[in-house]
Amino acid sequence: MINYGMNGKVALVTGAGGGIGRATALAFAHSGASVLVSDVNATGGAETVTMIEAAGGKALFQACDVSQGDQVKAMVAKAVEAFGRLDYAFNNAGINNMGANEYDDDVWAKSLGVNLTGVMLCMREESEVMMAQGGGAIVNTSSINGLVGNPAQPGYTATKHGVVGLTRHGALRWAKAGIRVNAVCPGVIETPMTAPLAANEEMRKLLDSMTPMGRMGQADEIANAVVWLCSDAASFVTGHPLVIDGGATVF
């Protein structure tokens, strides 16, 4: 893992109680940043903090449902209160209603609330702090389903396309304020989200075969890209939806 020299910097990660969020929180800490670990899952969030502290890093957990504006406001305020600033934000919390009918009103509303409104609420609050500070970097989690269609999941597809749109909007809106806004578009990644599918041997073979590289991606492979996008090494990169999918969308 590369150390991007983030000593004295502060990162906020939503959905950091497991999967891609946890791996990214650990990667920020490895580069020296203090990390505000946030999730609806308090047990997972506390575990992530323990892992960061065990590796010699600094972290604090704040519970937050990203679909709730008051909770998002409190989460961002907590990062500033605890660590004094906010340099990087990874708006990663998301749900995939695998197996549910996303045309059901409730399922559709939940997708929109967490996957799209959640990212908007986070960007709104984070950008206020970053503008006052003179800059920062935001990365949002989209998906390959934010770039290509998915016949099974209208909600997931629409919200992840929406995240790419919000990312492009934010990049333009805050370019002169020194805030870069990018997105990651992961392919099939081995996390608790995909674990129920991957647990079935036949399904695992199918998932592996969906990627030209012949395997699922690992959470670290997304985390490394997120920390790079936030770092000074990516200082001229903004508005970019970075595909990390082992070639799944190359065709």
- Site of interaction with ligand NAP (CB under 6 A): 14-15, 17-21, 39-41, 44, 64-67, 92-96, 114, 141, 143, 186, 188-189, 191-194
Closer CB to ligand NAP, residue 100 or residue 131? 100
CB-wise, 95 or 179, nearer to ligand NAP?
95
Nearer to ligand NAP (CB atom), residue 96 or residue 133: 96
Q: In the complex, what is the shortest distance from the CB of residue 188 to ligand NAP, in angstroms, rounded to a whole number?
A: 5
Phi and psi torsions of 238, nearest 5°: -150, 150
Sheet strands side by side (includes 34-39) = 59-63, 34-39, 10-14, 88-91, 136-141, 179-186, 241-244
Distance of closest approach, residue 114 Cβ to ligand NAP, in angstroms: 4
Task: Compute the least distance from the CB of residue 191 to ligand NAP, in Å.
Answer: 3
Instruction: State the minimum distance, in angstroms, from the CB of residue 82 to ligand NAP.
Output: 18
Catalytic residues: 156
Rounded least distance, CB 101 to ligand NAP, Å: 18
Best CA proximity match to 155, nearest among 194, 103, 117, 197: 103
In degrees to the nearest 10, what's the CA dihedral of 124, 181, 48, 195? 110
Residue 130: which of 92, 164, 173, 166 has the closest Cα?
Answer: 173
The span from the first CA to the last CA of the chain, in angstroms, equals: 30
DSSP H helical ranges for 66-117: 69-83, 105-111
| Percent composition of the chain: helix, strand, coil (DSSP 3-state, to 5) | 50, 15, 35
What's the maximum distance between 2 C-alpha atoms anywhere in the chain?
52
